[in-house]
Amino acid sequence: MDFITTARQCCGWLVVRCGQNAGRRIGRLHHPVDEIQELCLAALARSIWLRRSHFVLTAVPFATSFQLCRYAQEWADTLAKRDAFSHRPNNKYGENIYMAWSSDPTKEVTGREAVDSWYSEIKQHQFGGEPRSLGSGHFTQVIWKGSTELGTARARTATGKLLVVANYNPAGNMIGSFAQNVPPPKK
């Protein structure tokens, strides 16, 4: 699986681990970051920052999987063609979907914008046990300690809806596991 793992963020650049075998080399990203990679990396960077604010530090670093990015892109494109907003049926991964609308055909949704929208559901979450409602499921998937890979993609419908699809591996939001996977934020 091709992926990168953020090792350090500084002054607008990323030092990353690259490769197929858990990334043994550390260095700068030496090629231009295309649009899909840019979205994936922005979502990854924001997710890492938010997860750290909840003490979500794992032995396996949270990484972008470009295989998951491609998988998310397939579903984002399907939703855009259908002008729909729904989860992929029988998805083996965790999934968050974000939608915005703009009459400006040049407007793009950023990875940070989508992640921040999902994270805003923290207001509806009660820490320490199982959720009492479905109102914080996007938030809990962003923070879910057991998820170690993220793939993000975007698409636009003919009517101007801007969609972002994120897939998480392994999937989060597993019944009986919320307390150990969704810690409260630092005070």
The string over 49-78, giving b where at least 16 C-beta atoms fall within 10 Å of a residue's C-beta and e elsewhere, is ebbeebebeeeeebbbbbebbebbbebbbe
Q: How do residues 120-167 score in pLDDT, each as one tens digit?
A: 999 999 999 999 888 999 999 999 999 999 999 999 999 999 999 999
170: preceding bond cis by omega (within 30 degrees): yes
Q: Which CATH number fits domain 34-181: 3.40.33.10, 3.40.50.300, 3.90.700.10, 3.40.50.1820?
A: 3.40.33.10
Instruction: pLDDT band for 106, please (50, 70, 90 cuts).
Output: confident
Q: How do residues 34-78 score in pLDDT, each as one tens digit?
A: 666 788 889 999 999 999 999 887 767 888 888 898 999 999 999
**In the 8-state DSSP scheme, what is residue 7?**
E
What pLDDT is attached to residue 104? Answer: 87
Indicate if the pLDDT at residue 30 is higher than 70. no
The 3-state secondary structure of 122-165 reads: HHHCCCCCCCCCCCCHHHHHHHCCCCCEEEEEEEECCCCEEEEE
Mean pLDDT of all residues belonging to the chain: 83
Closest CA relative to residue 97, chosen from 47, 133, 53, 137 = 137
pTM recorded for the entire structure = 0.82
Q: Are 99 and 93 in contact (CB under 8 A)?
A: no
Q: Where are the domains of the chain?
A: 34-181
Q: How do residues 111-130 score in pLDDT, each as one tens digit?
A: 999 999 999 999 999 999 99
Q: Are 6 and 14 in contact (CB under 8 A)?
A: yes
Strands lying side by side in the sheet with 63-65: 25-28, 13-19, 3-10, 63-65, 149-156, 161-169, 94-101
